[in-house]
């Protein structure tokens, strides 16, 4: 079942994120090439994104899939009422529960939330080497509009 985020879900969201983004996050790619930076690894950097996603009023746009008391997946959203574009910064489903349609239902829930909030468009981004996202988002109706390359150098 999909329900609104509760603060007690935070650790589960972080665990799911650490499992699902190990090979498909910019921060993990940085560590793979450069090693940890500032004595912190990619998980620390990526999990701070989840903290930001659930901060204050933003938590209203975070939804989790729960079964039998266990969080199996989540989706986070952000609203830009001025541009009328909703953004999905993070979404993930535990690997052992992928392929059941949970991610698609979470995505549909977020899109309905956007519509209800007066958004006219939704955006999401993924890395080219994220095979799941690169197939999933177009199959859900998203259209690629741009490609971005991230660079890093040690100082």
- For residue 77, what pLDDT is reported? 98
Q: Is 21 left (phi over 0), alpha (psi -120 to 50) or beta?
A: alpha
Q: What rounded mean pLDDT belongs to the chain?
A: 96
Domain annotation for the chain: domains and CATH numbers: 2-139 (3.40.630.30)
pLDDT of the residue at 113: 98
Compute the average pLDDT of residues 49-63: 96
Cα separation, 46 vs 84, whole angstroms: 26
Left, alpha or beta for 35 (phi > 0: left; psi -120 to 50: alpha)? left
pTM over 0.75: yes
Residue 37's pLDDT band (cuts 50, 70, 90): very high
Mean per-residue pLDDT, 75-90 = 98
Nearest to 18 by CA among 74, 79, 101, 102: 74
Q: Percent of the chain scored above 90 by pLDDT?
A: 97
């Amino acid at each position: 079942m999909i329900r609104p985020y509760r603060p007690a879900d935070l650790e589960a969201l972080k665990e799911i994120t650490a499992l699902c983004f190990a090979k498909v996050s910019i921060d993990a790619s940085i560590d793979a090439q450069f090693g940890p930076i500032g004595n912190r690894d990619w998980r620390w950097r990526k999990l701070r994104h989840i903290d930001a996603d659930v901060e204050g009023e933003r938590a209203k746009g975070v939804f989790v899939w729960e079964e039998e008391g266990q969080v199996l997946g989540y989706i986070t959203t952000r609203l830009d009422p001025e541009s009328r574009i909703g953004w999905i910064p993070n979404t993930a489903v535990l690997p052992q529960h992928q392929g059941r349609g949970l991610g698609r239902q979470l995505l549909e829930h977020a899109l309905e939330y956007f519509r209800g909030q007066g958004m006219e468009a939704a955006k999401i981004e993924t890395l080219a080497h994220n095979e799941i996202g690169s197939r999933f988002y177009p199959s859900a109706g998203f259209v690629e509009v741009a490609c971005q390359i991230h660079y890093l150098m040690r100082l």
